Structure 1
Amino acid sequence: MRTLNELNASGQRVLVRVDFNVPLKDGAVQDETRIAAAVPTLKHLLEQGATLVLFSHLGRPKGFDPAQSLAPVAPVLEKHLGRPVTFIGGTPELTPASEATLERVEAAPPGSVILLDNVRFEAGEEKNDPQLAQKYARLGQVFVLDAFGSAHRAHASVTGVARILPSYAGFLMEKEVESLGRVLHNPEKPYWVVLGGAKVSDKIGVIENLLPRVTGMIIGGAMAFTFIKAQGGQVGKSLVEDDRLELARDLMRRAGEMGVRLLLPVDVVAAQKIEAGTPTRIMPANAIEEGWMGLDIGPESAKAFAEALQGAKTVLWNGPMGVFEMDDFAQGTLAVGEAIARLEGAFTVIGGGDSVAAANKLGMADKFSHVSTGGGASLELLELGTLPGIEALNS
């Protein structure tokens, strides 16, 4: 990809696709992580003497919706940049590609930082409408893609405009691709992958692509019960994908043929319902009683997983070990996260989503080599080796 090292932005109006898809509550930003992640790229461009025009999606609005406007992001971005941010939006007339927005952008003084409203207010955004991409392209002379979390979407603000303007990867995009590329293409061994989450079907492509490359694979979360049932285990009313049992058997067979260690939970924290404060019991993972379901890995599993990871030189972690959002079922995820964070001399990557939340809850996010900002994008890159956004920057 072309990177910022190849761009002299002095005197240029730079259109930057950022990922400001942040959680809002009562009109206030609840988590500033994605805003902070964009700051190095933005400061670099400003220091070169650029004028910045920033745009992003937020949520899934169906047309203009003031509740999903990016207006609350502007003051937070001001704080992070330490300079004024002009917000253009908040009305149906001031959507990112409107003539009124273009007029205001063109009238802004050099060195301005302009934040446009939600690109998903535009009907053609998710359809990658070429006419919409042309309208976006009028807003800048150069395009920078720094929204890794959206780089798996072939949308007008991601790939459409990248094929019109001279285009470059921002620092965040570059770091994401380099770090995930390292666990894909030249990982130092022993190399362990830790996968969790609800469904095997969400991770099939990742498992199949990484299986020939790894030393071992740890599977936790609800997806483990499909593998345990495929082995003949009793899993009570735990979540299982019955249509994936044969696939699970095939993956275990292939792992054995490749000499890859595939570890499943040996015990679980079980409950009769997913509810805070509900009674829990530790049960064998393959002998869960009827009416009970596994909602976290148990202490023996956490210990076994931590021991297996000792000495690893590369670790990729994607997905929680249980119903992490409830404290009653978070201990397994936290224990595995801590074991990875404490590895000496290892290259450790968190692949987005709840794993990042777990690292933040531990207060150990800074102990990992790389924390990805894109859950879906990181999974797709690990499965396919590229993304539409990367391809557009290479075109």
Structure 2
Amino acid sequence: MTHPPALTELDVGGKAVFLRCSFDVPLDSTKKLLDPKRVRDDSRIRDPLPTLSYLINNDAKIILAGGWVGRPKGEDPDLSMAPVALRLQELLKEEGLLKHPILLSPNCLDGSTPRSVYRNKEEVVKAVNGLKQGQVLLLENVRYDPEANSNDERFAEFMASLAGKGAIYVTEAEAHTHRPEATVTSVPGIIRRNGGTAVFGIRYAEVIKYIGSIARMLEKPERGPFIFFLSGKKIETQVGITSKISVTHSLLGKMRKGDILVVQGAVTYTFLIAEEYLDVIEEKWGELEKTVGLYNERITSEAGKLKKEHRDAQAIADNEARLQKEKSDKLKEIIGLADNGITYLIGNSFVEWKEIGEQLVFAARVYLKAREKDVAVLTNADHIITNKFPDKYGNLPADAELKEFEAVNGIPEGWLGVAPGIKTIRIICKNAESASLLILAGPISIEDERLEQFSRTNRKLFASIAKAKSDGAVTIGAGGDTAAIIRRWKGEDAFTVISNAGGATLELIEKGTLPGIEAVEKCNQ
């Protein structure tokens, strides 16, 4: 297969460029629709700026499909791309790139009601035809049109037709390329058939170069130590989902003696419980696996039955939650673990109580696979603990106390772990400095500023990763929460590449490719 040419090798002057981005940004519902500050985090809008710079400076006509914001049911005005367009305009102006005002189509920047692209074709075509060289037209939320997610052929044909003959398709849709949506997987091929070209954007080409090649890098016999951080808050248990746990299993298959799995963040407390009960879990492994399998079959079967009965999505979700809780309780019963046994070990530290039984099985599976591969697993030797719960953004109340807890477990009732302790972070940093490949796949602490001043956890970690990078290591920050905490504590220079994507990054690490990547590569066969 011939690899796509670099975007900077193409003459884009005067040509229509269909640029696919992933502008699924968090919104502040307290701000008005036409307020750019409604965009709470603009990281995904900033990501394609190098590509936009090249296209604008070389006089392309840019049709920008930003994908979706949220999960609108129909033309939900609260999930319009309007604030995204206004924030993009501000960023381009700051960068000295704003030759012409940003357009939005269908247009609601005049205060009119947000509307879908496909049901307002004439308005959209007229706006595209009026594009000037070096101007950007942002298309409205693609999920306003259900044809997008169903990868409808006629919808894809229309979207590609906006760019016309001999156009250029460019993808910077890092967070969306794992989804077979029309503008991700079908439009590039249609543009190619219409005499055009399909390539990767400047930033996404770098992401693919490093993250997409991790599996191949791990297979090199001469490589040095690999460190993978299984960190953050979530251990997903949904059937069939690509999660940090499934990616960890895949990577463990390629890891060897000298590599290290670092388990940190809220995830670590589930692992500490699993480690304490590992002998029992291993002894009863067959019964536990059988129980998980039987309940997963029930969840799938009953969901299908409810769909046939035309039950609404909430009824299906409620039934799944009930079965997940029932499964968790049964697994805890087999292990012989009561809730007070959990709090005895970790105090009020975070675990997903409704799913803790299965999550312990997941954690034990990682321990057993790591032992089989002779891979070290680093959890906590000590903790930084607090007596107050953080809010959903990771900020502690003003009256929260912080202190060191110098033991592996036995955190007092009413206290919870929020960061690795001084001894733990020292061990982590010492190992991180010697890595040849390092992936940070989640924060290792909550984001609270007072906690960081108290412990300097993230600054210490990023300094050690920067040392590894300066010695030639490839260092990767993966996931939206990871990228946010790296930016918060000024750790950008420590990383070779930082990905703002979540599920897409995990799948790219695990599989080395994604549907959107394959669609562009197929255009270059």
TM-score (ref. length: structure 2) = 0.69
Distance in 1 of aligned mates of 2:186 and 2:10: 20
Query: Please, which moves more after superposition, 179-188 or 24-33?
Result: 24-33
Distance in 2 of aligned mates of 1:333 and 1:129: 45
Higher strand share: 1
Distance in 2 of aligned mates of 1:138 and 1:325: 48
Mapping of 1:1-395 within 5 angstroms?
Answer: 1-3=3-5, 4=7, 7-25=10-28, 26=31, 27=35, 28=37, 29-56=39-66, 57-71=68-82, 72-79=86-93, 80=95, 81-88=97-104, 89-90=107-108, 91-92=112-113, 95-97=116-118, 98-99=120-121, 100-140=123-163, 141-166=167-192, 167-187=198-218, 188-201=223-236, 202-214=243-255, 215-232=259-276, 234-240=345-351, 241-275=356-390, 276=396, 277-283=399-405, 284-325=407-448, 327-328=450-451, 331-343=456-468, 344-345=470-471, 346-395=473-522
Distance in 1 of aligned mates of 2:416 and 2:483: 25
Query: Please, which moves more after superposition, 67-76 or 133-142?
Result: 67-76
Compared with structure 1, are the counterparts of its residues 85 and 15 closer, same or farther at alpha carbon in structure 2 (3 Å cutoff)? farther
Check whether the contact 2:100–2:134 (CA below 8 A) recurs between aligned residues.
Answer: no
Check whether the contact 2:77–2:114 (CA below 8 A) recurs between aligned residues.
Answer: no
Residue 306 of structure 2 is matched in structure 1 by: none
Compared with structure 1, are the counterparts of its residues 376 and 327 closer, same or farther at alpha carbon in structure 2 (3 Å cutoff)? farther
Check whether the contact 2:63–2:136 (CA below 8 A) recurs between aligned residues.
Answer: yes
Flag the structure with larger Rg: 2
How big is the shift at 1:334?
4.1
Higher helix share: 2
The code of the aligned residue for 1:152 comes to H
1:204-257 Cα distance to aligned partner (Å, 9 max, x none): 111011113341111101111222111217223333332132332232122122
The code of the aligned residue for 2:250 comes to N
How big is the shift at 1:51?
1.2
Check whether the contact 1:54–1:116 (CA below 8 A) recurs between aligned residues.
Answer: yes
Residue 338 of structure 2 is matched in structure 1 by: none
Distance in 2 of aligned mates of 1:204 and 1:300: 26
Aligned to 2:146, what secondary structure does the other structure show?
Answer: coil
Distance in 2 of aligned mates of 1:130 and 1:185: 35
Aligned to 1:238, what secondary structure does the other structure show?
Answer: coil
Check whether the contact 2:418–2:445 (CA below 8 A) recurs between aligned residues.
Answer: yes
TM-score (ref. length: structure 1) = 0.90
The code of the aligned residue for 1:300 comes to K
Distance in 1 of aligned mates of 2:24 and 2:100: 21
1:84-117 Cα distance to aligned partner (Å, 9 max, x none): 1331222457533331111221233444322222
Identity, in percent, stands at 30
Compared with structure 1, are the counterparts of its residues 379 and 95 closer, same or farther at alpha carbon in structure 2 (3 Å cutoff)? same
Matched residues, number: 395
Distance in 1 of aligned mates of 2:205 and 2:137: 23
Check whether the contact 1:15–1:143 (CA below 8 A) recurs between aligned residues.
Answer: yes
Compared with structure 1, are the counterparts of its residues 164 and 183 closer, same or farther at alpha carbon in structure 2 (3 Å cutoff)? same
Check whether the contact 1:85–1:115 (CA below 8 A) recurs between aligned residues.
Answer: no
Distance in 2 of aligned mates of 1:231 and 1:183: 28
Compared with structure 1, are the counterparts of its residues 189 and 213 closer, same or farther at alpha carbon in structure 2 (3 Å cutoff)? farther
Check whether the contact 1:319–1:355 (CA below 8 A) recurs between aligned residues.
Answer: yes
Check whether the contact 1:137–1:164 (CA below 8 A) recurs between aligned residues.
Answer: yes
Distance in 2 of aligned mates of 1:5 and 1:153: 26
Compared with structure 1, are the counterparts of its residues 291 and 125 closer, same or farther at alpha carbon in structure 2 (3 Å cutoff)? same
How big is the shift at 1:263?
0.6
The code of the aligned residue for 1:125 comes to A
How big is the shift at 1:35?
2.8
Aligned to 1:194, what secondary structure does the other structure show?
Answer: strand
1:46-76 Cα distance to aligned partner (Å, 9 max, x none): 4444211112122333333444333323422
Check whether the contact 1:51–1:110 (CA below 8 A) recurs between aligned residues.
Answer: yes
Check whether the contact 1:102–1:138 (CA below 8 A) recurs between aligned residues.
Answer: no
Compared with structure 1, are the counterparts of its residues 84 and 5 closer, same or farther at alpha carbon in structure 2 (3 Å cutoff)? closer
The code of the aligned residue for 2:14 comes to G
